[in-house]
Structure 1
Amino acid sequence: MAPPLPSQVDVEWLHQHLDDADLVVVDATNHLPVPTDGPYVPESGAETYRPEHIPGALFADLLVAFADPDSPEPWTAPDHERFAAAAGALGIGDGATVVVYDQHDGFWATRFWWHLRYEGFENVTVLDGGLPAWKAAGHQVTDVVPVPTPRTFTGTRRPELFRSTEEIAASLDNENTILVNVLDEPTYRGEVDTYARRGHIPGSINLPVFSLRDPDTGTLRPTEELRREFEAAGLLDDDRTVVTYCGGGIAATGVAHALALVGREDVAVYDGSMTAWAGRPELPLVTGDSPR
């Protein structure tokens, strides 16, 4: 029996396994260009995938195929049937091994990693450092777009990995739940106008997701360093539930993934995050420093 797939692999592992039968490599990139004024407008990564991707890699459109078309917020998880159909069409399903990467900061990859696990597919891993690390290692890229071999996706949804706005609101006074805001400190403290309202969800601590990566390589910091930081924040306490959130449910999965690497595989993600919460004026927000 093959050993269980780790939550993360490096570029040399992928290079050695690229021709493995049943391996499905997926580029899950979206883009959030910084606006000169007005709100962020997300873009699919399809156009940047086509001219340059890892050989054999397929493209997963998190903004369209793997999102709820009726939601007011982008990237909202669709119903299980829509997700299963889109995954199966890409060749993700029974018998497949999936490696996910993206073209820049890694959080689109961890979003798809989380979403696959939420829908009941566990044989998925993230390429540490993504496409930049692959290119930095001198490995080939291509503009050849492969044709997927469809599979049947039979996963069963795991609701414990997901939180809705209503569930977050109901758990605000629950001492057994730790809410983790993964945005930068000024946004967390309410010093900048990023969303409809400033601040963070009451009781949530701040652990900026970008602090988990080496700024020079884009790869994650050593696992033991991350473990010490998570222990100090109380995130490895098995008696408490950890829920991460960010702006739109993407970067939050980066912390959930890093926690999985140190053994905490049950972290939930608030899918709507600040976009949904701040858009509801009746829901509380606070400003200032982290309570920890």
Structure 2
Amino acid sequence: MSQPSLLITTEQLAAMLGDPNLRLYDCTTHNEPVPPGSDVPYRAVPGDKTFGAGHIPGADFLDLQGEFSDTSAGQFFMMPGVAQLEAAFGRHGLDASRTIVLYSIGTMMWSTRFWWMLRSLGIEAQVLDGGFDKWKAEGRPIETGAPKGYPATSFKAAPRAGFFVDKNTVMARIGDPATAIVNALGPQFHRGLEPSRYGRPGRIPGSVNVPAATLVNADKTLTSLADAEAKFASQGITRDKDVICYCGGGISATIDLLLLTQLGYDKLTLYDASMGEWARDPALPIETD
């Protein structure tokens, strides 16, 4: 059974603007390049400047790396503890009884990352299909300036197990016929044909490739469920398998996870550290073509 309600269209959101029940959040981060030889793969820059230059009216801004990640983990965007998330979401007025809509600029992966995080906390949210890019292209209303925010809440999570796994779990599932390990990076990186900014080129052994970029249309919306189903099926991903998704930093893989969830797959998890950890650890096996 599919779950199309995970997405909201620009038309639907436009009709909701001004509704006091709406909690709307811009989730944008920008990954900027670093000089060759740097010990980090990119520089994570919060999207507050692009938010100030233009955002959907009434939206608040969420800084993924600054407020909603474990910055002591040694790499970007790691899922933090529940207490940190409760405090951060509470500051931004998140309320499970409201309609929560997430969007981002440039790519939907920042909003799908927050969707996955919230889902792991027992909170359902919707993602704006096409994000701010589609909203702007359609000439819909835009505000500028700093976020006004929402009244703070005492946000309490209801954490759900199994949404994130570590390298040890992934290592233990390599070669398991009941598990599909899915790489959301591009095919050239999956095959190890190009240098990787994360470390050693290549993939987790035995993993299959469904690049997040192939699941997105030219207008930044997600592909149809029929097309997504065909792409996953072509890689041997079936509903009876445990599916572990990964990418470079646990962000773009959440596009795969959202579509798999819409398609009714329910044994899904994210290798949070992804290639940012795996490619740098010489004790972990890696595979190339």
Which category of TM-score, normalised to the shorter sequence, fits these structures? Answer: over 0.9
Give the aligned partner of residue 280 of structure 1: 281
2:136 is the counterpart of 1:132: no
Q: State whether residues 5 and 125 of structure 1, in contact with CA within 8 Å, keep that contact through their aligned partners in structure 2.
A: no
Give the aligned partner of residue 54 of structure 1: 56
- SS of the equivalent of 2:5 reads coil
Give the one of 43, 59, 80 matched to 2:82: 80
Mean Cα deviation higher: 50-59 or 259-268: 259-268
Give the aligned partner of residue 199 of structure 1: 202
In the TM superposition, what is the alpha-carbon distance from 1:21 to its structure 2 partner? Answer: 2.5
Once the two structures are superposed, residues 41-64 of structure 1 have per-residue CA deviations (whole angstroms, 9 ceiling, x without a partner) of: 111111211221100111111011
Once the two structures are superposed, residues 155-179 of structure 1 have per-residue CA deviations (whole angstroms, 9 ceiling, x without a partner) of: 2212211111121112223221110
- SS of the equivalent of 2:244 reads strand
Q: State whether residues 242 and 268 of structure 1, in contact with CA within 8 Å, keep that contact through their aligned partners in structure 2.
A: yes
Give the one of 216, 220, 233 matched to 1:218: 220
Letter in 1 for 2:244: V
Q: State whether residues 59 and 149 of structure 2, in contact with CA within 8 Å, keep that contact through their aligned partners in structure 1.
A: no
Once the two structures are superposed, residues 241-279 of structure 1 have per-residue CA deviations (whole angstroms, 9 ceiling, x without a partner) of: 111100000001010011122222442111000001112
Give the aligned partner of residue 119 of structure 1: 121
Residues 207 and 7 of structure 1: is their aligned pair in 2 closer, same or farther, counting only changes over 3 Å? Answer: same
Matches within 5 A, 1:237-248: 237-248=238-249
Residues 266 and 134 of structure 1: is their aligned pair in 2 closer, same or farther, counting only changes over 3 Å? Answer: farther
Once the two structures are superposed, residues 95-118 of structure 1 have per-residue CA deviations (whole angstroms, 9 ceiling, x without a partner) of: 122111101111011001111111
Which ranges in structure 1 are unaligned for 5 or more consecutive residues? none
Alignment identity in percent?
Answer: 34
Q: State whether residues 77 and 271 of structure 1, in contact with CA within 8 Å, keep that contact through their aligned partners in structure 2.
A: yes
Letter in 2 for 1:58: D
Give the aligned partner of residue 141 of structure 1: 142
RMSD (CA atoms): 1.6
In the TM superposition, what is the alpha-carbon distance from 1:134 to its structure 2 partner? Answer: 0.4
Give the aligned partner of residue 14 of structure 1: 13
2:27 is the counterpart of 1:25: no
| d(CA) in 2 for partners of 1:197, 1:239 | 32
- SS of the equivalent of 1:287 reads coil
Give the aligned partner of residue 264 of structure 2: 263
| d(CA) in 2 for partners of 1:70, 1:240 | 33
Q: TM-score normalized by structure 1?
A: 0.92
| d(CA) in 1 for partners of 2:195, 2:249 | 15
- SS of the equivalent of 1:100 reads strand
Residues 280 and 227 of structure 1: is their aligned pair in 2 closer, same or farther, counting only changes over 3 Å? Answer: same
Once the two structures are superposed, residues 68-97 of structure 1 have per-residue CA deviations (whole angstroms, 9 ceiling, x without a partner) of: 121101100000110111111111123122
Residues 265 and 99 of structure 1: is their aligned pair in 2 closer, same or farther, counting only changes over 3 Å? Answer: farther
Once the two structures are superposed, residues 224-256 of structure 1 have per-residue CA deviations (whole angstroms, 9 ceiling, x without a partner) of: 222222233333x33211111000000010100
| d(CA) in 2 for partners of 1:101, 1:287 | 35
Q: State whether residues 92 and 152 of structure 2, in contact with CA within 8 Å, keep that contact through their aligned partners in structure 1.
A: yes
- SS of the equivalent of 1:218 reads coil
| d(CA) in 2 for partners of 1:102, 1:130 | 5
Q: State whether residues 209 and 235 of structure 2, in contact with CA within 8 Å, keep that contact through their aligned partners in structure 1.
A: no
Q: State whether residues 65 and 71 of structure 2, in contact with CA within 8 Å, keep that contact through their aligned partners in structure 1.
A: no
- SS of the equivalent of 1:244 reads strand
Residues 265 and 20 of structure 1: is their aligned pair in 2 closer, same or farther, counting only changes over 3 Å? Answer: farther
Once the two structures are superposed, residues 2-23 of structure 1 have per-residue CA deviations (whole angstroms, 9 ceiling, x without a partner) of: xx98110110000011222221
Give the one of 163, 188, 195 matched to 1:186: 188
Letter in 1 for 2:109: F
Residues 70 and 34 of structure 1: is their aligned pair in 2 closer, same or farther, counting only changes over 3 Å? Answer: closer
2:254 is the counterpart of 1:253: yes
Letter in 2 for 1:42: A
Which ranges in structure 2 are unaligned for 5 or more consecutive residues? none
Letter in 2 for 1:204: S
Mean Cα deviation higher: 78-87 or 154-163: 154-163
Mean Cα deviation higher: 131-140 or 31-40: 31-40
Q: State whether residues 94 and 151 of structure 1, in contact with CA within 8 Å, keep that contact through their aligned partners in structure 2.
A: no
Q: State whether residues 47 and 63 of structure 2, in contact with CA within 8 Å, keep that contact through their aligned partners in structure 1.
A: yes
